[in-house]
């Protein structure tokens, strides 16, 4: 009986130690999280401004371009920050460009869809007052608005994720690789 208790205690200590090691791995990436989040924020903000201004240009007014650029900056900064951190969490130093791109693509689509659902009806009505056919179709209902925002945020997050994943990728040391025998 005493042997069983001792084995259970050893098993518990092993699991607790293993959990601490896993936690330490994530703490070792603290600098990588910070670097990737800052880079993702700047990249997301810049691309958000461009994408927002291009979307605002559909209104054929300067105020629409300005509002689109401002909204793109805000969404781009938020998306870039979260995508940079999530790319490090998913890919770390071994993920690469594809891992970052697919992480950003999925995350951006979900984030944009969730944010798009909460756009108020008054905003959609003000966009409809421009009487531009493309804008009328894209802001007709909550679903259309959520899909539009999901697409736009996914574009930003895909670019940020691919770039962050590529920057974080460590080259393999081929001299340590085992040769087939």
Structural domain contains residue 177: no
Query: Which is more confident, 46 or 10?
Result: 46
pLDDT, position 180: 65
Half-sphere exposure in the Cβ direction for 65 (13 Å, CA): 6
pLDDT, position 73: 96
Structural domain contains residue 93: yes
Could you tell me if 162 and 101 are in contact, meaning their C-beta atoms sit under 8 angstroms apart? yes
Structural domain contains residue 75: yes
Is the pLDDT at 45 greater than 60? The verdict is: yes
Query: Which is more confident, 8 or 28?
Result: 28
Is the pLDDT at 1 greater than 60? The verdict is: no
Structural domain contains residue 8: no
Read off the DSSP letter of residue 101.
H
Q: Can you give the residue range of the structural domain that contains 147? A: 31-168
Query: Which is more confident, 95 or 130?
Result: 95
pLDDT tens, position by position, 18-35: 554 554 455 567 888 999
Q: Residue written as tokens 């966009």?
A: 127
Structural domain contains residue 173: no
What is the token pair recorded at 163? Answer: 């770039």
Structural domain contains residue 82: yes
Q: What DSSP letter does each residue of the chain carry, written as one string?
A: -HHHHHHHHHHHHHHHHHHHHHHHHHHHTHHHHHHHHHHHHHHHHHHHHHHHHHHHGGGTSHHHHHHHHHHHHHHHHHHHHHHHHHHHHHHTTT-HHHHHHHHHHHHHHHHHHHHHHT--HHHHHHHHTT--HHHHHHTSSHHHHHHHHHHHHHHHHHHHHHHHHHHHPPPP-TTTSPPP-
Tally Cβ neighbours within 10 Å of residue 78.
Answer: 18
With residue 46 as reference, give the H or E element that holds it: helix 30-56
Could you tell me if 88 and 29 are in contact, meaning their C-beta atoms sit under 8 angstroms apart? yes
pLDDT tens, position by position, 124-181: 888 878 777 777 777 788 888 899 899 999 999 999 999 999 998 887 777 776 666 6
What is the token pair recorded at 63? Answer: 């105020």
Structural domain contains residue 145: yes
Q: Residue written as tokens 């990436």?
A: 29
Structural domain contains residue 87: yes
pLDDT, position 20: 47
Is the pLDDT at 69 greater than 80? The verdict is: yes
- Provide the number of structural domains found in the chain: 1
Cα–Cα dist 57/62, whole Å: 8
């Amino acid at each position: 009986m005493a042997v069983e208790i001792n084995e259970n205690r050893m098993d518990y200590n092993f699991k607790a130690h293993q959990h601490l090691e896993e936690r330490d791995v994530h703490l070792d990436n603290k600098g990588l999280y910070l670097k990737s989040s800052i880079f993702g924020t700047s990249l997301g903000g810049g691309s958000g401004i461009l994408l927002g201004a291009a979307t605002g240009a559909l209104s054929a007014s300067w105020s629409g371009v300005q509002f689109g650029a401002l909204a793109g900056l805000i969404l781009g900064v938020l998306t870039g920050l979260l995508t940079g951190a999530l790319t490090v969490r998913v890919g770390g130093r071994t993920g690469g460009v594809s891992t970052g791109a697919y992480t950003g693509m999925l995350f951006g689509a979900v984030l944009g869809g969730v944010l798009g659902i909460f756009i108020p009806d008054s905003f959609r009505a003000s966009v409809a007052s421009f009487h531009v056919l493309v804008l009328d179709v894209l802001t007709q209902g909550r679903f259309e608005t959520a899909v539009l925002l999901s697409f736009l945020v996914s574009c930003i997050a895909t670019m940020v994720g691919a770039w962050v994943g590529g920057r974080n990728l460590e080259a393999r040391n081929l001299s340590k690789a085992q040769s087939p025998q």
